[in-house]
Structure 1
């Protein structure tokens, strides 16, 4: 799939440079190969280890064969991430690509990098309170709008919009993207459907989402819940587990995000209504391109900026794609994000045949 930027990108001609070119932080006569450090926030969401990391690393190696790569996953621990970033700086990292566990808390780490003249790319999550080189992500408000609209469309189609309440399972409060998703969803849903319970789910945890859904079922009553706005697929899985445990004969429509394999299969079998497909390949590869350019002393122009509360950060924003069962073949499978053989196993085979996925 070709990247579809939220605004039209400014054409940028990068200066030709061999991979052994000195990094911006090295002296002009230095022959040290550039070191690029990637920091991801957690592994409960399958995309990070299955897609973001290998795609980023492969692109860096393709662009710069002698670049050294450092990788760390913080396991949703902000203190651990701080130690990882400080260790990378101590090892001489020339560029940091940082997906923050806590987007407010890492400002001090960005400051440490700036003191060492090490550029920073905020990956997927906007870092607040300080200036840095780039932000690469998706149009997060649009994600929430798509989730809200898909849920509203499903409720209207079933004729249940005014017959009950929905539950909102938002993402981690430490992730600024969560607020964007939530604001986008509210802009569509407010005044059109009653929100019975709403949660900001710590750590994006499926287990905590399951507990929240159980609380909502107890408080609202099983038959009074007509839909679930879940900000991602992992939490949708938790909500589904809670409803199945509560004895739902038929599940209400449930949203998601990330196009996790299990979620794609649930959509085909009717347990989950939709997901947001993010072109993670384009996100990871664009970040890798920028990291290599910065390591070579280049600074490509960005097509837009995003204000992080303190500064306007040069940004690259990708468009999300809403995917229901009838759109899986023309998006996720067409892009080979997953193949039909990945998806169409066991109980999913019949649904795949029904939707032409082979």
Structure 2
């Protein structure tokens, strides 16, 4: 009987201890998960080199601030992006950050997210008629003026130029074109070929240069909407033994573009400090999730609503200020930029 009594005491003690452990552990983990800020990010794609950098800086900053980030890649597919946003809504994200495939296509799903109490950040590209809680980007009109000014200053009077803009579905492209037109309004230059590259497909720049050459053998300048397009434009020029004698512009300060600039086959690029943009976006996203005042005074009209707008300044980069802006600024390494330049 004594042995039986001792066994029952041990059994009761063990069951009681186990019960306490099971109650405590899930409760602690559940509270930790519930208190964590959840941010969903839907990228247009990672075709453009800079987006990978934006992603890495954003995720690192947000996680340092205690948030959990779920990154999705729409691969340039509008319907896929809408589906990703709906998934974020179902997962009850606190904030959804959108790099729009099509600036006009997300209105309905954004309305659904906002009705669920989710904050919306339009990253780099404005969401049209969507009443986002924040739009953070660069001064894209100035991007266009910087590139256009390079064409105007370096192409001779009555010279022939090609313009290769980004897709019409990207609202930033409209702003870039606006900046371009303001500069070129009084320029005495001939636009012999113009195209908008669908989904930023770089191959369209290669085709554009070759199509223009069928119109005229003389090309003096190529306005490229980004450095990826410039890569293919320069390839076409190289095949026709024209690289280095034609003014070529771009934006994003991709490594390949920086290399071409110091080598002399691309004239300039527009540097947009994406590290600063991504870091600021993550900080604002966390503030929005916490219900804090973001204190943004500048606004931009999305077609209906005035949206708080954080606007960063772009910088034109050529051979003369490459070291100062890109290398000393830590955006690219000197040995990489000057890889093909003999010591």
Same fold at TM > 0.5:
yes
Q: Could you tell me how far 1:44 is from its partner in structure 2?
A: 1.5
Of 58, 61, 65, which residue of structure 2 is paired with 1:59?
61
Q: Could you tell me how far 1:112 is from its partner in structure 2?
A: 1.3
Give the aligned partner of residue 172 of structure 1. 167
Q: Could you tell me how far 1:54 is from its partner in structure 2?
A: 0.4
Runs of 4+ in structure 1 over 3 Å off = 29-32
Give the aligned partner of residue 44 of structure 1. 47
Q: 3-state DSSP class of the match of 2:248?
A: coil
Please give the residue correspondences for 1:107-256 in structure 2 after superposition, counting only pairs within 5 Å: 107-155=107-155, 160-162=156-158, 164-192=159-187, 193-219=189-215, 221-223=216-218, 225-248=219-242, 250-256=244-250
Q: Could you tell me how far 1:251 is from its partner in structure 2?
A: 3.2
Q: Could you tell me how far 1:78 is from its partner in structure 2?
A: 0.9
With normalisation by structure 2, the TM-score equals 0.87
Give the aligned partner of residue 84 of structure 2. 84
Partners of 1:222 and 1:246 within 8 A in 2 = no
| CA deviation map 1:181-226 (0-9, x unaligned) | 011111111331221111111111111221122111112x222x11
Partners of 1:222 and 1:248 within 8 A in 2 = no
Partners of 2:166 and 2:197 within 8 A in 1 = yes
- Structure 1 residue runs of 5 or longer lacking an equivalent are 1-28, 354-358
Normalized per residue, which structure has more helix?
Answer: 2
Q: Please provide the CA RMSD for this pair.
A: 1.7
CA gap of 1:56–1:81, structure 2 versus 1, over 3 A, is same
Give the aligned partner of residue 356 of structure 1. none
Partners of 2:148 and 2:180 lie apart in 1 by 4
| CA deviation map 1:125-158 (0-9, x unaligned) | 0110121210000011111011101111122xxx
| CA deviation map 1:224-245 (0-9, x unaligned) | x111111110111111111222
Larger mean CA deviation between 67-76 and 248-257 belongs to 248-257
Partners of 2:63 and 2:180 lie apart in 1 by 38
With normalisation by structure 1, the TM-score equals 0.84
Q: Does 1:302 align with 2:296?
A: yes
Partners of 1:214 and 1:328 lie apart in 2 by 30
Q: 3-state DSSP class of the match of 2:320?
A: helix
Partners of 2:106 and 2:130 within 8 A in 1 = no
Give the aligned partner of residue 8 of structure 1. none
Partners of 2:62 and 2:68 within 8 A in 1 = no
Q: Could you tell me how far 1:30 is from its partner in structure 2?
A: 9.1
CA gap of 1:292–1:249, structure 2 versus 1, over 3 A, is closer
Of 262, 265, 285, which residue of structure 2 is paired with 1:291?
285
CA gap of 1:37–1:334, structure 2 versus 1, over 3 A, is same
Give the aligned partner of residue 278 of structure 1. 272
Partners of 2:211 and 2:186 lie apart in 1 by 24
Q: 3-state DSSP class of the match of 2:167?
A: coil
User: Relative contact order (alpha carbons < 8 A, sep ≥ 6): 1 or 2 greater?
Assistant: 1
